[in-house]
Amino acid sequence: MKFYTPDPNSDIRLMKAYKDEVANVYVARESLKFHCHPVEKYVDKWPTNPPSFRKSAAEYLTNVRRVEITLLGAISESLGLETDYIEKKLGGHYVSLNYYGACEESNLELTYGVRAHTDPTIITILLQEEVPGLQALSEGKWMDVNPIPDTVVVHVGDLLQAISNHRFKSLVHQAMVNCEKERMSIASYCYPSSDAMIGPPEKLIDSDHPAVYKDFTFEEFSEQMWKVIAFDDARLNSFKCSAA
């Protein structure tokens, strides 16, 4: 329990399952979250047990960063922007190693892995092992996103929705548990630097696509994001243009 801390700004943090007393549901995810970019800055704070952990995590997270930059380049180009338009905004990177224990059958109806939410990121790269559990909301219905070997899932986060002037929509998703098998996943959260401007660029604003969001910094968004409890992109509401 060395990494357990109530401080949300800690460089590394162990989080336990908890009961949501308001909704009367149990949220089963246990996770170890830590900063990981640049790797050299944070690696000394990571666990030393198992002994291979730091080396394996550093290798995986360095490769995730490469995938992220390639994807963001393709996304920028698809929006008609310079290839490095989004890359230039990048700052930190946070990872969450998630564990979902198998659930007692009598508790299944009241137990979630993680409740419905969007990610407050640009994108999130999720590696799932073979046990299903991820669901995404599509046209009002929950859809299973079952693991495919050697494949990652990429979530559009709230910040890409704002940068793209709503051409990309942030993904509402949740994680379910089951009674037979424990489940694990690794979520890599891609964030901008604190002073990066997040509003849509001029190129994405015209009479058919008026600006949905004002310019705002990631620092302003971060102050807001912990105050808004919602299952959807409501964290962005206070940054909307009044006409949107």
Chain contacts with Fe ion (rule: CB under 5 A): 119
Q: Which is nearer to Fe ion, 121 or 164 (CB)?
A: 121
At its nearest, how many Å lie between Fe ion and the CB of residue 35? 17
The residue at minimum Cβ distance from Fe ion is 119
Residue with tokens 């990121």: 121
CA atoms of 34 and 88, how far apart (whole Å)? 23
At its nearest, how many Å lie between Fe ion and the CB of residue 175? 8
Q: Which is nearer to Fe ion, 36 or 211 (CB)?
A: 36
Q: Which is nearer to Fe ion, 85 or 221 (CB)?
A: 221
User: How many other C-beta atoms lie within 10 A of the C-beta of residue 204?
Assistant: 18
Which amino acid type is present at position 42?
A: Y
At its nearest, how many Å lie between Fe ion and the CB of residue 137? 12
At its nearest, how many Å lie between Fe ion and the CB of residue 234? 15
Contact 86, 157 (CB under 8 A): no
Q: Which is nearer to Fe ion, 59 or 129 (CB)?
A: 129
Nearest of 7, 32, 233 to residue 120 by alpha carbon: 233
Where does residue 164 rank: exposed (0-12), middle (13-18), buried (19+ CB within 10 A)?
Answer: buried
Give the phi and the psi of residue 61 in degrees, each rounded to 5.
-70, -30
At its nearest, how many Å lie between Fe ion and the CB of residue 193? 21
Please provide the DSSP assignment of 23-92 as one string: TTEEE-EEEEEEE-SSHHHHGGGS--SSTTHHHHHHHHHHHHHHHHHHHHHHHHHHTTS-TTTTGGGEEE
At its nearest, how many Å lie between Fe ion and the CB of residue 135? 11
Nearest of 193, 243, 238 to residue 88 by alpha carbon: 193
Which amino acid type is present at position 207?
A: S
Q: Which is nearer to Fe ion, 119 or 158 (CB)?
A: 119
Q: Which is nearer to Fe ion, 119 or 233 (CB)?
A: 119
